[in-house]
Amino acid sequence: GTAPVGSFDSNGYGLYDMAGNVWEYCADWYGENYYTNSPLKNPKGPKGPDTGQFWVLRGGAWNNLTKHLRAAYRLNNYPTTRRYDSGFRCVSGLN
């Protein structure tokens, strides 16, 4: 099952639980071939319509294969879908 935040050591950036606890919804619309032509630096993700498009999930969940437990692996799902192995992370920009 899931683990409380901070159950494991932080990564080199001081962030906790970036992979393997629950899939995390990102503020990016999913485009199957987006990274083929996206900017190399800080890609913003494809624009999505109000409905009918998928959001990106990253990080994998506790019940996934090892190959899914990394930030580079993307999953897609409808924004309205709720699952026992998915969540989100609140973030803030750095000044």
pTM of the model: 0.76
pLDDT of 76: 93
Provide the 8-state DSSP code for 54: P
- Residue 41's pLDDT is what? 82
Could you tell me the end-to-end alpha-carbon distance of the chain, in angstroms, rounded to an integer? 36
Across 63-90, average pLDDT? 90
Distance in angstroms (rounded) separating the CA atoms of residues 77 and 51? 12
pLDDT digits (tens, 9 = 90+) for 12-71: 989 888 888 999 998 888 888 888 888 888 777 677 665 558 889 999 999 999 999 988
> What residue ranges do the domains of the chain occupy?
23-88
